[in-house]
């Protein structure tokens, strides 16, 4: 079974899936591996690894270390073409379709493609959409693009529809890591009505209740990262997983 099939099955059986994002820049290497193991034991359905920068020296080593200790899929969520590792189960092959910067629409993808092919990493095509969140996020700065305004749901709908027509497998509605405001429930349900591919929602989700609302609005997968960096696990992963799985 491919990783995409695995995560789609999670959606089918549990109603929605919960992904824990680990940014290697925000954790000490040993803490990071521990968190990934805990997350996989506490009900997360996949571990995402990646970040806007990833300054830490050995991305590959890190992915390898995590991979051998967890049961759930390890998916790279790359901030750039340098974040590729043969030890991952899959990579979200993102195209930043909310922006008009060719580097993040196709440039980084062309650079990353040969390594992905050579290492036979499963590439999952994802339409990546930044949604305005109340403050400037790292993703906006690093990609040099403008997010879709919160009060322009029609642009978000049309962009997600275009992703589906282009054959992308998933759409990621992203408020940005540590966003002041997560993607609104209204925007999620609005977009959901216009596309049949699953929606991933992340950025600024701080409570299990908020995660539950995202699922009720139409998210098939919910991602959290920052909240665990700020509060530690302390049972939080379990609570998030239960809220998402309903
Ligand atoms: C960021 O959507 C992810 O790319 C997760 O965001 O770190 O705010 O949970 P947070």
Model pLDDT for residues 136-150, shown as the tens digit of each residue: 998 999 999 999 999
Quote the strand ranges of the chain, DSSP E. Answer: 17-22, 46-49, 74-76, 90-96, 122-130, 170-174, 199-202, 221-224
Using DSSP's 3-state secondary structure scheme, residue 172 falls into strand
Structure tokens at 224: 């959290």
Could you give all domains of the chain from N- to C-terminal order, each with its CATH number? 3-245 (3.20.20.390)
Pocket of ligand 1 (CB under 6 A): 21, 174, 177-179, 202-205, 223-227
Q: Calculate the CA 157 to chain-centre distance.
A: 19
pLDDT band at residue 54 using 50, 70 and 90 as cut-offs: low
Whole-model pTM: value is 0.97
pLDDT band at residue 56 using 50, 70 and 90 as cut-offs: low
Pairing relationship of beta strands 199-202 and 221-224 according to DSSP bridges: parallel
- Determine the atom of ligand 1 nearest the C-alpha atom of 205: 9
50, 174, 181: which to mutate for ligand 1, most atoms within 8 A of CB? Answer: 174
Is residue 30 predicted with pLDDT exceeding 90?
no
- Determine the atom of ligand 1 nearest the C-alpha atom of 178: 8
Given phi > 0 = left and psi -120 to 50 = alpha, else beta, which region is 48? beta
**Distance between CA atoms of 139 and 126, rounded to whole angstroms?**
16
Q: What is the mean pLDDT of residues 165-191?
A: 97
Strand-pair partners of 129? 173
C-beta separation of 89 from 122 below 8 A: yes
């Amino acid at each position: 079974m491919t990783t995409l099939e695995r995560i789609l099955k999670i959606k089918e059986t549990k109603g929605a899936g919960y992904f824990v994002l680990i940014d290697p820049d925000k954790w000490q290497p040993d803490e990071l591996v521990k968190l990934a193991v805990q997350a996989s034991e506490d009900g997360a359905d996949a571990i995402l690894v990646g970040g806007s920068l990833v300054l830490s020296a050995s991305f590959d080593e890190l992915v390898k270390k995590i991979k051998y200790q967890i049961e759930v899929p390890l998916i790279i969520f790359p901030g750039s073409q340098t974040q590729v590792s043969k030890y991952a189960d899959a990579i979200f092959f993102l195209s930043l379709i909310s922006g008009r910067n060719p580097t993040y629409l196709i440039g980084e993808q062309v650079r990353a493609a040969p390594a992905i092919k050579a290492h036979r990493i499963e590439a999952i095509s994802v339409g990546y959409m930044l949604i305005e969140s109340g403050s400037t996020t790292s993703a906006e700065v690093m990609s040099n693009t403008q997010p879709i305004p919160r009060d322009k749901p029609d642009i978000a709908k049309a962009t997600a529809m275009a992703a589906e027509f282009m054959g992308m497998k998933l759409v990621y509605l992203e408020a940005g890591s540590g966003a002041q405001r997560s993607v609104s429930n209204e925007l999620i349900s609005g977009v959901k009505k216009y596309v049949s591919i699953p929606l991933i929602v992340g950025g600024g989700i701080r409570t299990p209740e908020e995660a539950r609302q995202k699922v009720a609005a139409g998210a098939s997968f919910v991602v959290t990262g920052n909240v665990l960096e700020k509060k530690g696990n302390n049972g939080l992963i379990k609570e998030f997983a239960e809220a998402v799985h309903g």
